[in-house]
Amino acid sequence: MDETDTRILRSLQRDSSRPVAELAADFGLSASACHRRIKALERSGAIKGYSARLSRRKLGLSLLVFVEITLRSQERSVLDAFEAAVRAAPDILECHLTSGQADYTLRVVARDMDDYDRIHRDCLAALPNVTAMHTTFALRPIKFWQGYPVR
């Protein structure tokens, strides 16, 4: 992982549809050398795969919500039931075990308030041993970067 590799990763993270020959030219490399590096990065697991970035707007998912959940019990069975329910819910994009007051922090999307209410009822409120649930709505995105800084 030298400087050239990080530049390749940055470039592919931003736009993976460019021809390898173009990248190679940007970095002063031949197409085949660049191609070989990319394949090595894929095999190493640094590149996990390739995806189309979709527009949340166009998909009609106007709500983005952060939900902090506190459970009464930390028992294995309770946690397992919770995590299974989370995994089964497609509208819960992320779930992290977190430090602080709450136990879990969730990232949830919904089409609108009715939709969020449905998710709330079916996926969240139905869970046992929930002591507290703190909801934060994202009102306006200031910055939204899919991907990571590569240094």
Partner DNA sequence: CGTGAAAGCGAAGCGCT
Partner DNA sequence: AGCGCTTCGCTTTCACG
**Residues forming a β-bridge with 108:** 65, 92
Supply 110's token pair: 């919904």
74 binds a copy of itself (CB under 8 A): no
Looking at 33, 93, 113, 138, which residue binds DNA (CB under 7 A)? 33
**Residues in CB range of 137: below 8 A, 6 or more apart:** 63, 64, 65, 66
Q: At what angle do helices 31-44 and 3-14 cross, to 10 degrees?
A: 80
Choose from a copy of itself, DNA, none: what does 36 bind? Cβ within 5-8 Å by kind. Answer: DNA
Give the separation between CA 67 and CA 49, rounded to whole angstroms.
29
Span interacting with DNA, options 37-45, 53-61, 83-91, 119-127, rule CB under 7 A: 37-45
Q: Site residues for a copy of itself, window 86-115 (CB under 8 A)?
A: 86-87, 90-100, 102, 104-105, 109
Contact string (CB under 8 A) for a copy of itself, positions 29-68, x = contact: ---------------xxxxxxxxxxxxx-xx-x--x-x--
Alpha-carbon distances, residue 26 vs 7, 40, 150 (angstroms): 10, 19, 17
Choose from DNA, a copy of itself, none: what does 148 bind? Cβ within 5-8 Å by kind. Answer: a copy of itself
Give the separation between CA 73 and CA 79, rounded to whole angstroms.
8
Supply 75's token pair: 């028992």
6 binds DNA (CB under 7 A): no
Supply 11's token pair: 């470039």
Give me the residues that bind a copy of itself (CB under 8 A), please: 9, 12-17, 44-56, 58-59, 61, 64, 66, 83, 86-87, 90-100, 102, 104-105, 109, 134-150
Give me the residues that bind DNA (CB under 7 A), please: 4, 18-21, 24, 28-33, 35-39
